Every structure is written in structure tokens, then in C-alpha cells.
């Protein structure tokens, strides 16, 4: 199954609206230099950027026509209402966001987000044009205790039963998975290709068990200390369909190098 890879920048709580504009101005020529003449978007790799909420609109403007999708870092599960400080799915749709991160481990850890809350967010997003990027992954203690399979089963159960109950949307546009081992996020301790491939294959197995053949078309991104130097080895793995990049996405040159590594692995395969 050929899946178009997706590389997503997760800026977390970095880059103001003006810094986002500068970033876009520096990234555009780097990406344009990679494309064949006449191509307005990258046929090989889909690219998205998830800035903090205040930078969404200025980034959208600065990226107009660049073939880069806009993503949000979180969303609230209610349609609207008295939820001070929160952002709704329709607000994101109105800004032409295509993707939204759901269940990032930093929100699970610092925001106390439970699997039930994450399932409620996914259910809300399923009624919109947004595509959720659901983040899953185990802690160091869970890995050492050999609990990877149990953790993935728990994190995927509700999302997969929701998706199988709503088969109307094409699965590739209805869900993206991001495998982000917590011990690798922001630590410089990247997963080895063996660890990443085994986890991605396990996620793929569960997607196919839950959704049948449709599970083959859902993309699974790797995230956690991905850098230009380690990207080629990880992005070449058969079940790795792109990346969710934190720290290295803050610099346009590093982010473009990771996109380029992804592009090269696809060109080699085709």
C-alpha cells in the first residue's frame, strides 16, 4: 500500500505570530528549491505546521500558495460555550486548518487528559472537516515493564471503535496516528529503527484488526527527537509514513532537511 508521507512541525509553545511569518518566509524558498519545475506542491511529501493558536492566522497568510497545510496543537470537545481559554473545532475550520493534534503526551501529562477525554475530542472532530493526528506512545517505565502492547491497546481502543462506527469518510483523511515514545520526546534519545519499526508494525496490526483493509491506508508518523541526522534511517522504515517533529521544526533549515530526507526515501522506493 502506497501512503503519501506527512511531515508535521509541532512548534509547541514557541514562535510568536511575527516569528511564524519570518519562519514561513525562510522556509518557502528552501521547499521550492526541492520541487521539480512547475510543481506548486510536493507530490512526494505532504507538509503541515502546527503553531500555537495565536500564530495560526498569520502563518496561514504567510504560507498562502505554498502547499503547506495548517495544523492546530489541540481542540476542545464541546461545539461552543462557556469554556474560558479553549478553542473549538469550528474556529479551526474557519482558519482553514486541515489537521489537529489530539492526545499529545504533554497534554496527557501536564493537562491531565484521559483516554476518555481524548476519545471525546476525536468524536467532535469526526463531525468536522479536520483530520485528527492522534498521538500514542509509552513511558520509559512502561517500556521497561514490557507494556507497550497494553498501552497501545488502551490508547487505540476508543478511537478505533469510533472510526469503525463511522465508515463514511475515507480512512486516510479521517485519522493519522503519531507514535511518540514519551522517553524520546525532547530528550535527544531517539528510538532505534528496530524499536520504531516494531511499534509501528504493532500499531498497523491493530489498525487492520479494528478497521479491516481501511487500516492499511492510515498513516503512522514517528515523533521523538527526530533530527536531520537521524531522519533518513527512521523515515525509510516500511511502516513509518512520516514524522511529527518538535524541537528540530523550529528552525526552517532543519525542518526542510527532514522534509528532504522523507522525499528522498520515497523517490528511492518509487
Binding site for ligand PGA (CB under 6 A): 10, 180, 185-186, 223-226, 244-248
Smaller CB separation from ligand PGA, 215 or 223: 223
Q: Please, what is the minimum distance in Å from the beta carbon of residue 178 to ligand PGA?
A: 7
Q: Please, what is the minimum distance in Å from the beta carbon of residue 207 to ligand PGA?
A: 20
| Element of type H or E holding 160 | helix 148-165
Selecting among 104, 106, 113, 200, the annotated active-site residue is 104
Smaller CB separation from ligand PGA, 172 or 185: 185
110 is known as an active-site residue: no
Smaller CB separation from ligand PGA, 196 or 248: 248
Smaller CB separation from ligand PGA, 152 or 248: 248
180 is known as an active-site residue: yes
97 close to 108: Cβ distance less than 8 angstroms: no
Residue facing ligand PGA at closest CB distance: 246
Q: Which of 137, 15, 120 is nearest to 74 (CA)?
A: 120
Residue 110: which residues within 8 A CB-CB, separation 6 or more?
Answer: none
Q: Please, what is the minimum distance in Å from the beta carbon of residue 165 to ligand PGA?
A: 28
In the chain, where do the E strands start and end? 6-10, 46-50, 68-72, 97-102, 131-136, 176-179, 219-223, 242-245
Selecting among 46, 106, 180, 200, the annotated active-site residue is 180
Q: What is the DSSP string of 80-128?
A: SSS-TT---HHHHHHTTEEEEEES-HHHHHHS---HHHHHHHHHHHHTS
Q: Please, what is the minimum distance in Å from the beta carbon of residue 227 to ligand PGA?
A: 8
| Residues classed as catalytic | 104, 180
Amino acid at each position: 500500500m502506497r501512503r503519501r508521507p506527512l511531515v508535521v512541525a509541532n512548534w509547541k509553545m514557541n514562535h510568536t505570530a511575527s516569528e511564524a511569518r519570518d519562519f514561513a518566509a525562510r522556509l518557502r524558498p528552501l521547499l521550492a528549491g526541492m520541487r521539480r519545475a512547475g510543481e506548486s506542491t510536493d507530490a512526494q511529501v505532504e507538509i503541515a505546521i502546527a503553531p500555537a493558536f495565536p500564530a495560526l492566522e498569520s502563518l496561514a497568510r504567510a504560507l498562502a500558495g505554498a502547499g503547506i497545510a495548517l495544523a492546530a496543537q489541540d481542540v476542545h470537545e464541546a461545539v461552543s460555550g462557556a469554556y474560558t481559554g479553549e478553542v473549538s473545532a469550528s474556529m479551526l475550520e474557519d482558519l482553514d486548518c486541515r489537521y489537529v493534534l489530539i492526545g499529545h503526551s504533554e497534554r496527557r501529562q501536564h493537562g491531565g487528559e484521559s483516554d476518555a477525554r481524548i476519545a471525546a475530542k476525536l468524536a467532535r472532530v469526526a463531525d468536522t472537516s479536520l483530520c485528527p493526528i492522534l498521538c500514542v506512545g509509552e513511558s520509559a517505565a512502561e517500556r521497561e515493564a514490557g507494556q507497550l502492547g497494553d498501552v497501545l491497546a488502551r490508547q487505540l481502543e476508543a478511537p478505533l471503535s469510533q472510526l469503525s462506527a463511522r465508515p463514511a469518510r475515507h480512512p486516510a483523511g479521517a485519522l493519522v496516528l503519531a507514535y511518540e515514545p514519551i522517553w524520546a520526546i525532547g530528550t535527544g534519545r531517539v528510538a532505534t529503527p528496530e524499536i520504531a519499526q516494531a511499534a509501528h508494525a504493532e500499531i498497523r496490526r491493530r489498525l487492520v484488526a479494528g478497521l479491516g483493509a481501511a487500516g492499511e491506508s492510515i498513516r503512522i508518523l514517528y515523533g521523538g527527537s527526530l533530527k536531520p541526522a537521524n531522519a533518513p534511517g527512521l523515515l525509510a522504515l516500511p511502516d513509518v509514513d512520516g514524522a511529527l517533529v518538535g524541537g528540530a521544526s523550529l528552525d526552517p533549515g532543519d525542518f526542510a532537511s527532514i522534509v528532504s530526507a522523507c522525499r528522498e526515501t520515497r523517490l528511492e522506493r518509487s
